[in-house]
Amino acid sequence: MDSTFQDYAGALAINQSKNDVFLFNSNGNLVRGNGVSQRLSVPILSPDFNQEVQAVFRRERNRGIANPILVGAIPFDMRQPTHLIAPDWSERINALGYSLSPFMDEGFTHRVMEHRFSPDHNDFLTMIEQALSIFEMGHLKKVVLSKVLTLTLDRIIDIPRLLSNIMAQNPNAYHFSVPLERDVLVGASPELLLRKQGNKIFSNPLAGSARRLDCPDRDRQAAQTLLESSKDQYEHRLVVEAIRSSLSPLIHNLHIPDPPELISTPTMWHLSTQIEATLADINPPSLFDLIKHVHPTPAMCGTPTLEAQHCIESLEPHQRGCFSGLVGWCDFQGNGEWAIAIRCAQVSGNKATLFAGAGVVPDSNPESEWLETSAKMRTMLNAFGIKENVI
């Protein structure tokens, strides 16, 4: 096992009960931290949020940290409290192409003792049908509706081994382990909301998905069908145009390639667009201000945003919390990365909660959306080594 990952895994194993070890790993940055110097729970939409962030950074600099960092999670609903930490100790390795080298732990398996969907299959179909009827009544163009799967497993979950499997199975993802109050949010997101490096901004929205298939020929056909799907292309355009509209007032140059390209994870095909922009020179916004402009995108919420949020609140029977929110980091210099909290689980003891959503548009099929959300959960089920067909 790579020594850097081994060091992290050892620290995580020692501190599991304290829930104070953080990791965020991308193809350009590895950020690690442990311990808690300060916590910040002020909602990002609070008028005091930016002042509170600066106060945290000021106190960290007073204790001798030259470039302090905030790490953690921002909920889907930005009116809810954040889960941000200034760690006691942290490091950032900024080396494009650097990565950890976790191993695939074939012996890491779990049996499912109990499982429960919210909503269950029938209620999920009803929820999608209700959304389709809303499209006929108003201005809603897309809404992302989700389900959660709560698992009770046969043993306490070893988070370092789980994270190793997540990373080994999904090497090109944004890997994260984020301490929350009572549990740990761990996963491998394929989707970058925002990266800020100096005055450069990067985003990689994904919208339009198809399940990977075991047969290579059928898998290639599934990818081609996705690329040619008018429904999925429409869904993707809504996301890209929303990001364009949100960023345009804040930037000099905006590069958005067209059409989208195909990318894949071990379990899914996605339509993907790599967006790059340069911030305006005068009074450039902070990374958190950019987040307020862009999050949630139609990829996680829908469009128009307010109508979609109201639809989610009225139809989903569960609270999303950090699911489809953001995980990442931001430093005193204003650089940072925030990925969307999907393909993940909240873990505590022998309990795990998984989440998946699907973009619903006027020609969506309810059963197809159930199957898509189930396929998206396969990433985490594979990492847990769960063999039962619980989805």
Q: According to the model, what pLDDT value does residue 94 have?
A: 74
pLDDT of residue 17: 46
Q: Which residue in 60, 191, 369, 372 is the catalytic one?
A: 191
CA distance 60 to 74: 21
pLDDT one-digit tens code per residue, 59-94: 999 999 999 999 999 999 999 999 999 999 999 987
For residue 257, is the peptide bond before it cis, meaning its omega torsion is within 30 degrees of 0? Answer: no
Report yes or no: 212 and 264 within 8 Å, Cβ to Cβ. yes
Residues 6+ apart with CB under 8 A from 61: 68, 332
**Per-residue pLDDT at 134:** 95
Residue 191 annotated among the catalytic residues of the structure: yes
pLDDT higher than 70, residue 357: yes
SS3 (DSSP) at 268: strand
> pLDDT value at position 78?
97
| Per-residue pLDDT tens over the stretch 258-315 | 999 999 999 999 999 999 999 987 788 899 999 999 999 999 999 999 999 999 999 9
Task: Assess contact for 234 and 360: CB atoms under 8 A.
Answer: no
pLDDT at 102: 64
- C-alpha torsion sign, points 130, 136, 140, 143: positive
pTM for the complete prediction? 0.92
Q: Would you mind telling me the total number of residues written for the chain in this entry?
A: 391
Instruction: Dump pLDDT digits (tens) for 124-179.
Output: 999 999 999 999 888 899 999 999 999 999 999 999 999 999 999 998 899 999 99
pLDDT of residue 19: 59
Question: In this predicted structure, what is the pLDDT of residue 98?
Answer: 54
106 is catalytic: no
State the pLDDT at residue 106: 80
* Given 60, 142, 307, 316, the catalytic residue: 142
Give pLDDT, residue 2.
Answer: 54
Q: Write out the DSSP string of 118-183.
A: ES-HHHHHHHHHHHHHHHTTSS--EEEEEEEEEEEESS---HHHHHHHHHHH-TTSEEEEEE-SSS
Instruction: Describe the crossing of helices 121-135 and 366-384 by its angle, rounded to 10 degrees.
Output: 130
Residue-averaged pLDDT of the chain? 91
Farthest-apart Cα atoms in the chain, separation:
60
Given a cut of 50, whether residue 329 has pLDDT beyond it is yes
